[in-house]
Amino acid sequence: MKSQDTTSPMADFGFTNVAQEEKAPLVADVFRSVARRYDLMNDLMSMGGHRLWKDFLISRSAIRSGQRVLDVAAGTGDLTRRFAAQVGEQGRVVAIDINPQMLGLGRSRLVDAGVAGNVDYLIGDAENLPLKTRQFDCVSIAFGLRNVTRITPALESMVSMLRPGGRLLVLEFSQPRAELLARCYDFYSFNVIPRLGKLIAGDEGSYRYLIESIRRHPDPQTLKDMMHDSGLDDVGYHSLCGGIVVLHCGFRY
């Protein structure tokens, strides 16, 4: 039997450590499994709150008609649809996701909603975005950064897409600071959400991973520092719902 190479770089997959090259296929399996019920589960898990969090991101994007936006880990297109309305017919939104099932579902829903003319769809990895650099006024990633294999290369790749003065917006779950809220959040996360996943999506394990991945994600200050080191200036963040969700924003030098 061939011995395992213990020097191979490792990555977090929830509470499990896996080889870096194994994480992307595992995450792909998660989202392939949950794609059909993903939006419904988001509504149930957040009690509709994810819509307000995404609206807040849009309000902080300062996107105007005619500008260009890159929506990374676009999934089923919630943010893409909002950005498309902001940039108008003269602007452009590129929705990119590594998962064809999620992106295909998002495209179908946006086309059904009449959103088509100013949106492009692309399969691609956040760590190595297959696009010309310095062409976007805004790059966003919502609830996707914790699923990438290596956060720093992903941040650097997204920053490279920005025009000077453009902004990167990162919306992600975090941990509440208040002890009582944190305990309630932990109970809800580890006891209620996986059961909802099993009942609604037929997949308890995938939702357990998604909860675990939040606990392994960098805290807000650490992520702020990582964004600054990746080439952003004036990086700040807004804690929402007592710290359950955090929106980071930074500008390209």
SS3 of the chain: the string is CCCCCCCCCEEEECCEEEEHHHHHHHHHHHHHHHHHHHHHHHHHHHCCHHHHHHHHHHHHHCCCCCCEEEEECCCCCHHHHHHHHHHCCCCEEEEEECCHHHHHHHHHHHHHCCCCCCEEEEECCHHHCCCCCCCEEEEEEECCHHHCCCHHHHHHHHHHCEEEEEEEEEEEECCCCCHHHHHHHHHHHHHHHHHHHHHHHCCHHHHHHHHHHHHHCCCHHHHHHHHHHCCEEEEEEEEEHHHCEEEEEEEEC
Looking at residue 1, what is its pLDDT? 42
* Domains, in order of start, for the chain: 48-175+218-252 (3.40.50.150)
| 151-186 pLDDT per residue, tens | 999 999 999 999 999 999 999 999 998 999 999 999
Residues of the chain predicted below pLDDT 70: 1-7
Looking at residue 129, what is its pLDDT? 97
Looking at residue 253, what is its pLDDT? 84
Model pTM above 0.85? yes
Sheet of 245-252: strand order equals: 119-123, 92-97, 68-72, 136-142, 162-173, 245-252, 232-240
Looking at residue 116, what is its pLDDT? 83
Looking at residue 186, what is its pLDDT? 96
Looking at residue 6, what is its pLDDT? 53
C-alpha distances (whole Å) from 198 to each of 34, 38, 144, 173 are 10, 13, 22, 21
